[in-house]
Amino acid sequence: MSEDIKKKKSLGRGLEALLGEMNEDVLNDELNQVKLGEVAPVNEIYVSSFQPRKDFDEDAIKSLAASIREKGVLQPLIVRKTSKGYELIAGERRLRASKIAGLTEVPVIIKDFSDGEVLEIALVENLLRENLSAIEEAEAYQKLMDEFSHTQEKVASVVGKSRSYIANTLRLLTLPDEIKSHITSGKLTAGHARCLVGLENACFLAEKIIKEELSVRQVEEIVAKQKESKTQNIDKDEKIAKKEINSDIVDIEKSLNKKLGLRIKITQSKQGGGKVVLQYASTAELDMIIGILDQKKQVDLGVQNTVFKDAEEQPQSKNEKFSIKFVE
């Protein structure tokens, strides 16, 4: 099986399905109609707004024009009739070359398609010929989703790709315009570009790739090392922050030990809370702790039962971070 046949079979519904699942007899009927005079004036054919391809190889079109002058247009253009004339669905290269060749009319197959089908056909045709840049391909997928409510699964079915391939291609649209321009011009491949998605220094790496002519594998290694280094820096910052917190807790323990004459242990949980443990070595120390807490409770109750004329007269805690709650 040739590569072209394999490619066509892999493109999901493909052109054959989108054109009404043409079998050989139907296709022959269509071509017979063309031979019998199914033509359209070149000046009445206009390019569809759903055409995903934006850039064309002018040299290749001139070469095609030379062939058309000699042999004519061998493959008809696919169009649909509108109030403005004939909207081109497939065959823009042939139309451009025909104009250069000086043709006034070209053979066409007229089909009745919805807007969504027009975009699908234009997209599949270009994918068959590998004419689209990765950005044009991604924009076409996005247009199918935005304007015709296609899901990624539906787009994947239309073009014969996996859903993950569609998702990864769409992610290219999140890259800076500078990088997308490099992809469209061919300076960067889609493989290079996928490595740059989500990176803060994507533009810097893009220039490095172009300047040093790095392979995709080399870029993958650079990005992997960069992410590893970033993870290590985050871990280092977390350790420093944890060390600072532990240092603060030790200072608080020492201060409370000195003020209360008790051995106090403070532990902190990962969620930000923690617990304070009052340690005692004898029942005498336990009685002392209870006495201190009872005294604190009586002071708090006295404050609660006192009526203050002015809010400023109310006693303020010296340490607003800590409070003791008594539960009956």
Instruction: Identify residue 145 by its one-letter amino acid code.
Output: M
Distance separating alpha carbons of residues 96 and 92, to the nearest angstrom: 6
Distance separating alpha carbons of residues 81 and 1, to the nearest angstrom: 37
Distance separating alpha carbons of residues 164 and 156, to the nearest angstrom: 9
In this structure, the number of other CB atoms found within 10 A of the CB of residue 50 comes to 23
What distances in angstroms separate CA 20 from CA 121, 146, 148, one per listed residue? 11, 24, 19
Q: Does the annotation count 253 as an active-site position?
A: no
Distance separating alpha carbons of residues 199 and 203, to the nearest angstrom: 9
- Check the CA dihedral 181-159-130-82 and report its sign: negative
Report the candidate in 235, 201, 234, 237 with the shortest Cα–Cα distance to residue 219.
Answer: 201
Catalytic residue among 3, 44, 58, 92: 92
Distance separating alpha carbons of residues 210 and 227, to the nearest angstrom: 21
Asked whether 70 and 102 are in contact (CB, 8 A), the reply is no
Beta bridge partners of 41: 105
- Catalytic annotation, residues: 92
